[in-house]
Structure 1
C-alpha cells in the first residue's frame, strides 16, 4: 500500500503504524489497515521489540515520473516518516524508479543515467521536497518491456543496492 490517498476511497496508511513498525512494535504478518491503527491489544503488536525487530534502514521507493505530481499531503507524510526515522537514528535512502520514462536519453541507453539533466532535476526536486540528500537518492530503471536480462540495467540496480548496503553498514559503526 502506498501513501497516496485514492480520491474515491479517501483512505491512507496510518503514519503512526509506520512509526510503530520502525520501532519494532509490529510483528510479521500484520496487515496495515487504513481504517484503524494497530493497538496494544492487537496480537500482532510487539510490546518488547528486540534489535532484530526494529527497522535498520528506511527505503522510500518513488516513481520518478510522479515526483512533480506528489500531493502536499504525500510530501508531508514522507517528511514526517523521515523525521521519525531520524529520531530513531535509522539511515534513509530513496530509489527513483522508471527513470527511462522521464528522459529520452536514458530510454535510448541506460548508461546515460548520470549525464541526464532531466533526471538530475527530478532528483533535486525530490530532495528539496522530502529532504533526502542527493547522495541518498538512487535512480533505477525497471524491467517492464524487456524480455531478456540487460547487464546495463542490472548494473544500475546492483550499484544502487551496493550503495544502500554500504550506507547501512556505515550507520552501524
Structure 2
C-alpha cells in the first residue's frame, strides 16, 4: 500500500500503522492491511519495543519528476506522517531521486547539481508542499542507464548519506 489511499478511512489506518512502526510496535514482515490497523493481538505487534525496534530517522524518498504530480491526499499523508514523527522526536529527511530526469544540466554533468535552478525550484516545491526544510532535502542521481560506476554520482550519493547520518543528532530536520 502506498500513499495513494482511495478513502480517508484507509489513509488514517495507514498513518496510524506507520506511527506504530515508528514507535517500534510493528515487526518486520508485517503486511499492511488498508482495511484495518494492526491489533495488539497480531503476532507482528510488539508490546514492549526496545530502542533497536524504534525508528531513529524518517527518510522519505521521492522521484523528483513526480513532485509536481503529487495528489493532495498523498501530500496530506506525508504531512501527517511527518507530524507524528515530530511528536516522537524523530528527525526527518527527504531524498529526491532521478534528478537528472528533470534537469538537462544535471543529466549532462552531475556536478551541476548545486547550480541547477530547475532542481532548486523542484526542491522548494517539495519543501512547501510537505514541510521539509530545504537543508533536509538531499538530491541524488540514480544509476539507471550507466554501465560503469561514476565517481561523481557516487560522491553525491555518499555525501547525502553522510549528511543524513550527521542529521541524526540534530533537531533541525
Structures share a fold, TM > 0.5?
Answer: yes
TM-score, scaled relative to structure 1: 0.92
Name the residue aligned to 1:52: 52
Mean CA deviation greater in 31-40 or 64-73: 31-40
Asked whether 1:61 is paired with 2:51, we answer: no
1-structure distance, mates of 2:2, 2:142: 18
Mean CA deviation greater in 149-158 or 22-31: 22-31
Structure 1 segments unaligned to the other structure (5+ residues)? none
CA RMSD of aligned residues (A): 1.5
Name the residue aligned to 1:15: 15
Name the residue aligned to 2:94: 94
Instruction: List per-residue Cα deviations over 1:110-142 (Å, max 9, x = no partner).
Output: 000000000000000000000000000000001
2-structure distance, mates of 1:156, 1:25: 34
1-structure distance, mates of 2:98, 2:159: 16
1-structure distance, mates of 2:147, 2:18: 36
Name the residue aligned to 2:43: 43
How far off its partner does 1:35 sit? Answer: 3.4
Name the residue aligned to 1:72: 72
TM-score, scaled relative to structure 2: 0.92
Structure 2 segments unaligned to the other structure (5+ residues)? none
